């Protein structure tokens, strides 16, 4: 279904994010017929380019990052014709008159702030000064949304001076992932799971986001941030919220975000022994974290594992184990709901522990599987084995799955539609920082040194101990 005609201005339109994600994504939505031919995209950045120069740049970006569709020559030419460019200075006066002159009346206006957060205030102010933003305009901002509670509050405050909360779209691209939304479909679209979704039946929950890449070119930025700020405070926290929240009365922005906020606020403070920080070492053939970050004394974590608890009736006593890291064994993201043991087994001689596990795989092989216990085939009597009821979306849904828009595409279309359900609200972001701030402050106070781990493993051994000492184990990263 096409969205209404829009003018989308991308501040930072020549940047890495714009070339790699935003514009290739918009191109795919254009090919899918969702972006109508009367919509326009206006790049706005410092570089001194004209519209043609910008189109050439984006043509290259799409060739490099656009996937198989990028060979559609006619489609590409039509798409590029929808592009314009303004050379602009966020903190000065250059370009603003020109941008103002380009905006059309009667179409939706959206402004993507794909620039450093330090420029948000200047952009918001100038959009107003020049009458470019109207009361229905949307602005889109990216992570990092602050680096602690104070800076996040300051950013919220800056944006709030010129925009209502209902106009601000804070992107967490994890929320745009197909499987993450499927998590909600599974939870709230089936009667099967919700009755079991509590401390009576759930033993624990695991959330793993493992990457194989290191910090590479982003070392300078990452070294000031680390896995807690870069991944846990936003992405893993969002996944945890969707798993743990109470059923909202409606799948709608206000209701969903109210429930997520309650989860974050109910998180218990974490004791230091429930957190393991790691940093990848060199295993001979690749550089260590410290080499890549160009900081020989860095204490920044490239891996973190922690045990969180939610203090409410539904989840009392249920551990939520979260882990994420770089240079791990495989690119593997999964949420696993591990159910409790049977209260009693009627099968004599079957000593093994059988457990139902619902696993939601973000990657690879996006899909959902449910581990169930069945009888081992054959004449050996009642021997039990565990097997997955496996639904890999690519096989189960075929072309439909292949054609699903990626996270960025979907989220940008939601901005145009005015649907904030999959975006973070200001109070959510602040609550998440309020939970992570004391943890990070504790490390800084103690000069906490992360444990070294070898690339290609599942992180430091201490992370295995986090579960072992409670009689549990991580699911394999593979």
Our finding on whether 395 is near ligand NAD (CB under 6 A) is no
| Helix/strand/coil for 97 | helix
Binding mask 31-60 for ligand NAD (x = CB under 6 A): --------------xxx-------------
Choice between 109 and 173, CB closer to ligand NAD:
173
Nearest-CA neighbor of 243 among 373, 354, 334?
334
The reply, when asked if residue 397 is annotated as ligand binding, is: no
Q: What angle do CA 168, 174, 177 make, to 5 degrees?
A: 110
Is residue 144 within 8 A of residue 432, CB to CB? The reply is no
Our finding on whether 94 is near ligand NAD (CB under 6 A) is no
Choice between 13 and 121, CB closer to ligand NAD:
13
Is residue 397 within 8 A of residue 116, CB to CB? The reply is no
Binding mask 133-162 for ligand NAD (x = CB under 6 A): ---------xxx------------------
Other C-beta atoms closer than 10 Å to the C-beta of 447 total 7
Other C-beta atoms closer than 10 Å to the C-beta of 284 total 7
Question: For residue 70, what are the CA distances in angstroms to 31, 37, 394?
Answer: 10, 18, 21
Our finding on whether 71 is near ligand NAD (CB under 6 A) is no
- Residue span binding ligand NAD (CB under 6 A) among the ranges 63-71, 85-93, 247-255, 459-467: 85-93
Distance CA 109, CA 97 (A): 16
Choice between 28 and 187, CB closer to ligand NAD:
28
Active-site pick, 157, 162, 200, 235: 235
For residue 435, how far is the Cα from the chain centroid? 18
Max CA distance (Å), the chain: 83
| Helix/strand/coil for 327 | coil
The reply, when asked if residue 7 is annotated as ligand binding, is: no
Number of residues counted as binding ligand NAD (CB under 6 A): 23
The reply, when asked if residue 125 is annotated as ligand binding, is: no
DSSP-derived pairing of the beta strands 319-325 and 202-210: parallel
Is 157 known to be catalytic?
A: no
The reply, when asked if residue 194 is annotated as ligand binding, is: no
Looking at residues 110 to 129 of the shown chain, list those that interact with ligand NAD (rule: CB under 6 A). 114-117, 119
Strands (E), 70-189: 83-87, 108-113, 138-141, 168-170
Is residue 174 within 8 A of residue 156, CB to CB? The reply is no
Our finding on whether 420 is near ligand NAD (CB under 6 A) is no
Our finding on whether 417 is near ligand NAD (CB under 6 A) is no
Choose, by CB under 6 A, the member of 36, 52, 60, 91 that binds ligand NAD. 91
- Residue span binding ligand NAD (CB under 6 A) among the ranges 87-95, 289-297, 359-367, 399-407: 87-95
Helix 51-65 / helix 23-31 crossing angle, nearest 10 deg: 80
Nearest-CA neighbor of 264 among 301, 232, 226, 229?
232
The reply, when asked if residue 367 is annotated as ligand binding, is: no
The reply, when asked if residue 177 is annotated as ligand binding, is: yes
The reply, when asked if residue 12 is annotated as ligand binding, is: yes
Choice between 171 and 413, CB closer to ligand NAD:
171
Residue ranges of the annotated binding site are 12-19, 46, 143, 173, 177, 211, 230, 326
List contacts with ligand NAD (CB under 6 A): 11-18, 45-47, 88-91, 114-117, 119, 142-144
Residue ranges of the annotated binding site for substrate are 173, 177, 211, 230, 326
Residue ranges of the annotated binding site for NADP(+) are 12-19, 46, 143
Question: Active-site residues: which are they?
Answer: 235
């Amino acid at each position: 279904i096409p969205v209404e005609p829009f003018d989308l201005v991308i501040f930072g339109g020549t940047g890495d994010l714009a070339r790699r994600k935003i514009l290739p994504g918009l191109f795919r939505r254009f090919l899918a017929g969702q972006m109508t031919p009367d919509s326009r995209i206006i790049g706005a950045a410092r570089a001194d380019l004209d519209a043609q120069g910008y189109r050439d740049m984006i043509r290259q970006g799409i060739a490099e990052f656009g996937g198989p569709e990028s060979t559609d020559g006619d489609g590409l030419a039509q798409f590029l014709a929808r592009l314009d460019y303004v050379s602009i200075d966020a903190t000065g006066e250059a370009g603003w008159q020109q941008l103002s002159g380009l905006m059309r009346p009667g179409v939706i206006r959206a402004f993507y702030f794909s620039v450093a957060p330090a420029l948000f205030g200047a952009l918001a102010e100038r959009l107003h000064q020049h009458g470019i933003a109207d009361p229905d305009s949307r602005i889109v901002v990216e992570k990092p949304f602050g680096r602690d509670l104070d800076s996040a509050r300051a950013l919220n405050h800056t944006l709030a001076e010129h925009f209502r909360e209902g106009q601000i779209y804070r992107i967490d691209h994890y929320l745009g992932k197909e499987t993450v939304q499927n998590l909600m479909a599974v939870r709230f679209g089936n009667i099967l799971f919700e009755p079991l979704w509590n401390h009576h039946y759930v033993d624990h929950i695991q959330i793993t986001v493992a990457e194989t890449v290191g910090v590479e070119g982003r070392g300078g930025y990452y070294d000031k941030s680390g896995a807690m700020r870069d991944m846990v405070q936003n992405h893993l926290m969002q996944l945890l919220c969707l798993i743990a929240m109470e059923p909202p009365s409606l799948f709608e922005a206000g209701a969903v975000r109210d429930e997520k906020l309650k989860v974050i606020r109910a998180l218990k403070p974490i004791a230091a022994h429930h957190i393991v920080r790691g940093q990848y070492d060199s295993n001979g053939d690749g550089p260590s974290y410290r080499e890549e970050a160009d900081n020989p004394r860095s204490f920044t974590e490239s891996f973190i594992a922690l045990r969180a608890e939610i203090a409410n009736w539904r989840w009392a006593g249920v551990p939520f184990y979260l882990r994420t890291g770089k240079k791990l064994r495989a690119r593997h993201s999964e949420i696993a709901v591990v159910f409790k043991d049977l209260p009693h087994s009627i099968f004599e001689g079957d000593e093994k522990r059988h457990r139902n596990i619902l696993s939601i795989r973000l990657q690879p092989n996006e899909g959902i599987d449910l581990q169930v216990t069945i009888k081992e085939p054959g004449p050996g009597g009642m021997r039990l084995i565990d097997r997955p009821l496996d639904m890999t979306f690519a096989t189960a849904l075929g072309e439909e799955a292949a054609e699903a828009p990626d996270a960025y595409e979907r989220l940008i279309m939601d901005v145009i539609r005015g649907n904030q359900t999959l975006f973070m609200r200001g109070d959510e972001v602040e609550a998440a920082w309020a939970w992570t701030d004391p943890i990070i402050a504790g490390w800084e106070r103690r000069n906490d040194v992360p444990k070294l781990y070898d690339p290609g493993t599942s992180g430091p051994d201490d992370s295995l101990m986090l579960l072992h000492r409670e009689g549990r184990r991580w699911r394999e990263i593979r």
